[in-house]
Chain A
Amino acid sequence: AQKVTQAQTEISVVEKEDVTLDCVYETRDTTYYLFWYKQPPSGELVFLIRRNSFDEQNEISGRYSWNFQKSTSSFNFTITASQVVDSAVYFCALTMNRDDKIIFGKGTRLHILP
């Protein structure tokens, strides 16, 4: 069975602190894709990153970085020098190559306090 676990339901940090959001996934497929989406209070989910199962390179985009480790089935997301605008719910998600269903984690609600 496929599953995504985001153990952190809610996190609060003070602005400018670094914060890491954890994501652990389960699948028996060898080809799969991992995603992070951001959902601000406005409601729209915003795509942040996609990683395929054959590419374990870490990625950095500005203050955002992602650490993909197949050995621990994890795809963690770090925000460096957090800002109030980073406050949102963040979803980690998994898809398989054979279909188009997204398996979402339950989300982590991130509060950045000024």
Chain B
Amino acid sequence: DTEVTQTPKHLVMGMTNKKSLKCEQHMGHRAMYWYKQKAKKPPELMFVYSYEKLSINESVPSRFSPECPNSSLLNLHLHALQPEDSALYLCASSHSERGYNEQFFGPGTRLTVL
């Protein structure tokens, strides 16, 4: 199984809602990532988990809260988002957090904040 899955595919939420994005991989990878991608831009790194511990937080606002319940799962909890947070949210995984590892990406969740 060489796949990273993400749910939901699409999400529309109001600024007062609380929602969660989910990501799962069964490749035995020990590093998992959240990226945010705006239209016609490259992905921007948000968070990195290495061996289920948060290793990088790229100064992301606290309205985004990551969680890694186990080595296969990664969640992104959303609360009180702003319209400018509308974007494609991509999850990725790699064998470890070292730079020589390619990352495997999921199909993303297209988030719209009204």
Is the A/B pair a real complex?
yes
Chain A residues near B102 (CB-CB < 8 A): 35, 47, 50
Total inter-chain residue pairs, C-beta < 8 Å: 67
Instruction: From B40, B55, B56, B107, give the contact of A43 (CB < 8 A).
Output: B107
Chain B contributes a number of interface residues (CB within 8 A of A) equal to 28
In-complex Cβ contact of A96 among B40, B50, B56, B99 (8 A): B99
Residue of B whose beta carbon sits closest to that of A97: B99
- Give the docked Cα–Cα distance between A69 and B52 (Å): 37
Within 8 A of A (CB), among B86-114: 88, 90, 92, 94, 96-108, 110
Provide the bound-state CA to CA distance between A37 and B42, in Å.
Answer: 11
Confirm or deny: A101 has a beta carbon within 8 angstroms of a beta carbon on chain B: yes
Q: Tell me if A102 and B100 are in contact (CB < 8 A).
A: no
Bound together, the chains give a CA A32 to CA B43 distance in angstroms of 20
Residues of A within 8 A of B43 (CB): 45, 102, 104
B5 → chain A, closest Cβ, in Å?
A: 11
